[in-house]
A = this chain, B = another copy of it.
């Protein structure tokens, strides 16, 4: 049976490698070397896959403008799973990116039946303040609620002209019972991802969306729609007779004038450099020495001048999930399985002391054989959150496998770190309320 990713059913994805084969996600390892100072999630293989990341690596390396975008559905508590995304947003902002954060209140309202007031409270008190506490800076940041962002809502409608019910059903398992607002919420997420490229914001710009693997359906749908929204398709083709390759620019319902303008600008700019064109009714073939970047720029400008979007297809990264502290999945219905960012530090420490580890049957056995850190939820806490220092992480591994430190002592250390982290974070979350106006957010507790 084909594997199905469903963003509304949190599923443990047992075999990530299938994602490469079945869904066309690329291994992140292939682009890792292109990134100057990779995030610990990248170095540690937690971010395991991507789509279209080359343009993001290029933007970071060459200090070009780019956007990091993520959405948070304001339901329940922000927890350490959300922190993974928040950490990445903050990191991208430090790498020069513009951080754009959408609070998906349309989804929470339509799918989870929360009132708009609840969405606002949870959005600010759980998610936005945590993000600010984790280091988001006001400069080069834009935080918005979907319900309050007209360009996002209008773009969602526009995207709806390019996707039909069957496509939605195939991707999300929607049925006849699915409410229309649920479908519109999905379109709105597409608009979250694409709206920064509207002329009123940044215009066409590389955008990266860091998500968990279960969110890939949204990404695929949005990449597909973005491509359908564009007027032109640039392809490399080969002449079947001569074997020579050339560029083809195809206009999909593009105004005739726009295609003519592209033809004129290629000939005007490159005609002297041995570039020739053949203009047909709906496409142009381009022969000779012109780079994809040069061609894309000409096409983009013509498309924008004729009211098109010229969207750059958004990139994404995929990270794997932490296990729950009690073993198995993290679940909000099992409070002991996870820790909220707003949690009392002592309560969090207690949860760690009770967590499932990779310990052996007896202390003797463990001193002899060592622990199994790859089965340990406390080790995962280190791996994902408790240290940015890879050497320290290796030290934790060694102490475990050598049996020199047993689970009790290790948990105590981790619990201490967690308590210190949360004590600091709670302080910063309180301070974050004061900083809300810097992010143009009007809210009082």
Contacts and interface: CB of A to CB of B under 8 A. Distances in A.
A276 B428 CA distance: 56
A154 B183 CA distance: 15
Q: Tell me the number of copies of this protein.
A: 2
Interface stretch (A169-177, A200-208, A262-270): A169-177
B187 A164 contact: no
Contacts of A389: none
9 contacts: A153-B157, A159-B180, A160-B184, A163-B180, A164-B178, A164-B179, A165-B174, A165-B175, A180-B184
A173 to B, nearest CB: 13
Chain A to chain B: the 8 pairs with minimum beta-carbon distance, closest first: A166-B176, A160-B181, A160-B180, A161-B181, A164-B179, A165-B176, A164-B177, A160-B184
Contacts of A177: 164-166
B110 A160 contact: yes
Contacts of A150: 150
Contact of A180 (B154, B168, B307): B168
Contacts of A176: 164-166, 169
A115 interface: yes
A167 to B, nearest CB: 8
Interface residues of A, number: 34
B180 A158 contact: no
A69 B181 CA distance: 24
Interface in A180-217: 180-184, 187
A109 interface: yes
A157 B164 CA distance: 17
A218 interface: no
Given A164-B179, A169-B176, 17 more contacts: A106-B157, A110-B157, A113-B161, A153-B153, A153-B154, A153-B157, A160-B179, A160-B184, A161-B179, A163-B180, A164-B180, A165-B174, A165-B175, A165-B183, A180-B183, A180-B187, A184-B184
Contact of A307 (B110, B115, B161): B115
Q: Which of A113, A164, A169, A177 has the most CB of B within 10 A?
A: A164
A301 interface: no
A113 to B, nearest CB: 8
A423 interface: no
B178 A165 contact: yes
Contacts of A180: 159-161, 163-165, 168, 183-184, 187
A171 to B, nearest CB: 12
Interface in A108-134: 109-110, 113, 115
Given A106-B157, A115-B307, A157-B106, A163 B179 contact: yes
A375 interface: no
A415 B160 CA distance: 46
A194 B137 CA distance: 42
Most buried by B among A161, A178, A307: A161
Contacts of A161: 109-110, 113, 179-181
A183 B177 CA distance: 15
A110 B180 CA distance: 16
